[in-house]
């Protein structure tokens, strides 16, 4: 088996970024010769549905963005109930999105859906005012093997039509929430500056 085929086989089986050290270990190739082998592999798959991605001296064999629509059905492979999948689709399509807005779109049951998604490691909840901002995790992108931008389109057909109809209204509410949060923060900073100035006057 040629070195080129060995590298291709490892990248295909890994379905993740593989470091130069790992490739050298699994293929028996020298680290210094791997970049040229990767270049040859890129030339061989050029014009196909595959692409070599590079990140921090690591490589990954992935599906080209152009063919994301073809592989989108893989989202059905995940073992989650349909209603939970629909909630995940909304988060993937609109991320980062505020938890309260997802609840407005999906109803109270969304709390349980999001709890399951957090437990599975697909979503992270970051504090955001009185609610939470929902962010897709590295595990999500690794599991579905989708570039961050392409994931929005890949999950689009999993979203109920009635939800899509309310998106403009939801986006407006999110913008208002963000502006309100920023205003409160700015107001607090101003108050802190005033208090600091007053303390300096008292001690002068």
Split into its structural domains, the chain has a count of: 2
Q: Are 93 and 106 in contact (CB under 8 A)?
A: no
142-172 tens-digit pLDDT: 776 665 555 555 565 555 555 555 555 555 5
Tell me: do 84 and 166 sit in the same domain.
Answer: yes
Is the pLDDT reported for residue 37 higher than 70? yes
Q: Can you give the CATH number for the domain in which 12 is found?
A: 1.10.10.10
Residue 28 lies in a domain: yes
Same domain, yes or no, for 111 and 165? Answer: yes
2, HSE (Cβ side, Cα atoms, 13 Å): 7
Strand order in the sheet with 18-19: 18-19, 58-63, 50-55
Q: Scan for tokens 């949060």, then name that residue.
A: 181
Of 63, 86, 102, which residue constitutes the final position of a domain?
A: 63
Residues 28 and 91 in one domain: no
Q: Report if residue 96 sits inside a domain.
A: yes
The answer to whether position 202 is within a domain reads no
As a residue count, the chain comes to 204
Q: What is the 3-state secondary structure (H, E, C) of 73-87?
A: HHHHHCCCCHHHHHH
Both 153 and 99 in a single domain? yes
Q: What is the mean pLDDT of residues 94-118?
A: 86
For residue 44, the enclosing domain spans 3-63
H or E element that contains 41: helix 34-45
Inside any domain, residue 174:
yes
Predicted model pTM: 0.45
pLDDT digits (tens, 9 = 90+) for 166-187: 555 555 555 555 455 555 455 5
Tell me which of 18, 37, 63 is where a domain ends.
63
């Amino acid at each position: 088996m040629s070195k080129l085929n060995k590298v291709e086989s490892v990248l295909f089986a890994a379905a993740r970024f593989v470091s130069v050290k790992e490739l050298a270990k699994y293929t028996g190739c020298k680290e210094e010769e791997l970049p040229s082998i990767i270049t040859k592999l890129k030339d061989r798959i050029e014009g196909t549905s595959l692409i070599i991605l590079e990140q921090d001296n690591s490589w990954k064999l992935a599906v080209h963005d152009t063919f994301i629509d073809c592989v989108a059905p893989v989202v059905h492979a995940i073992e989650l109930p349909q209603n939970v999948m629909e909630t995940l689709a909304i988060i993937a399509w609109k991320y980062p999105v505020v938890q309260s807005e997802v609840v407005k779109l999906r109803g109270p049951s969304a709390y349980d859906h999001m709890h399951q998604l957090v437990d599975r490691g697909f979503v992270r909840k970051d504090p955001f005012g009185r609610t939470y901002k929902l962010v897709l995790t590295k595990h999500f992108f690794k599991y579905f093997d989708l570039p961050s931008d392409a994931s929005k389109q890949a999950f689009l057909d999993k979203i109920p039509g009635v939800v899509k109809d309310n998106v403009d209204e939801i986006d407006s509410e999110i913008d208002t929430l963000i502006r309100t949060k920023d205003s409160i923060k700015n107001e607090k900073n101003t108050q802190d500056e005033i208090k600091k100035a007053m303390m300096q006057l008292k001690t002068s």
